[in-house]
Amino acid sequence: MKYGVIGTGAIGGYYGAKLAHSGQEVHFLLHSDYEYVKAHGLQVDSCNGSFHLTDVNAYQHTEDMPPCDVVLVCLKSVNNSLLNSLLSHLLHHQTLVVLIQNGIGIEEDVQKMFPDVQLAAGLAFICSAKTEPGRVNHQCYGSINLANYSCKDETLMQIVVDEFRLAGIQAELVEYHEARWKKAVWNMPFNGMTVALHTQTDLLLKNEATRRLIREQMMEVVGAAQHLGIKNIDSSFVDKMIEITDSMTPYSPSMRLDYDFHRPMELYYIYTRPIEIAREAGYKMPKLEMLEAELRFLEEQNNKKG
């Protein structure tokens, strides 16, 4: 199939490059490093084996890109207002749009923008960063779960999963609501806490007080999910996420990098929206509400610094 990647950063650069390296036709939308990638290609430094793409289908504008069978949206969700202009050029009547973005409620809002487009969620479990032009640093993990939101053709979903696997990416089909809330169990504590305490994931878990707080925050997400009737999410899943994070390479999540580079943080879909959804269902997440307030203060101060 023909793939398009909107947002060739740490995530889109990695998955798109893996697909291209396996022989798939992939078209990449780039922004600041378009000229560099066009001239020098795309380098992936990976714990699973590094590689270089010499001839990259690189574009600055989606109107120059062909219609694609699958579009991987890897923009930060703070830029989703751009999708109205970016996506329309890449769609045909059966295109599947996979939103590889963090948070709760994303697909609902994008579907309002494109009522007839088939959507799926992409839940990436990966430590990856892109801090220089044309180079993705893949540190560990790298699997992705796909969850059907409005795709009418389950066969298409399975084909995408199969092609990810052929590219050396561990991929599974999962239930949508369960997948989004399970991802939030990790994202809501670790993204914000690394910003608020200006640290990395490993140090949060090595300190007894912050380890306890992380677990309590995770259990707030589990409680919200259970209150909403979502299955297969409980304290054992929290223990699993903490165990996995213990074994990770020390890591700065995407929100920490956004804060450090004075970029907008993805506060709405990672914090505000799930907190609102839980509150409307009669469940409160006080520790995560406090963390959100702290992050909004830090972002306002960060903006003043320029």
Predicted confidence (pLDDT) at residue 306 exceeds the cutoff of 80: no
Which tens digits make up the pLDDT trace of 87-110?
999 999 999 999 999 999 999 999
pLDDT at 186: 97
Nearest Cα residue to 242 out of 188, 288, 185, 177: 185
From the candidates 182, 183, 206, 305, which is the catalytic residue?
183
pLDDT value for 150: 98
Residue 241 pLDDT > 90? yes
pLDDT of residue 74: 97
pLDDT digits (tens, 9 = 90+) for 118-133: 999 999 999 898 979 9
Q: Give the domains, in start order, of the chain with CATH numbers.
A: 2-174 (3.40.50.720), 178-305 (1.10.1040.10)
> How large is the average pLDDT for residues 275-288?
98
Determine the pLDDT at residue 305.
Answer: 83
Q: pTM of the entire structure? A: 0.95
User: Does residue 140 surpass a pLDDT of 90?
Assistant: no
* pLDDT tens per residue, range 173-192: 999 999 999 999 999 999 99
2 is catalytic: no
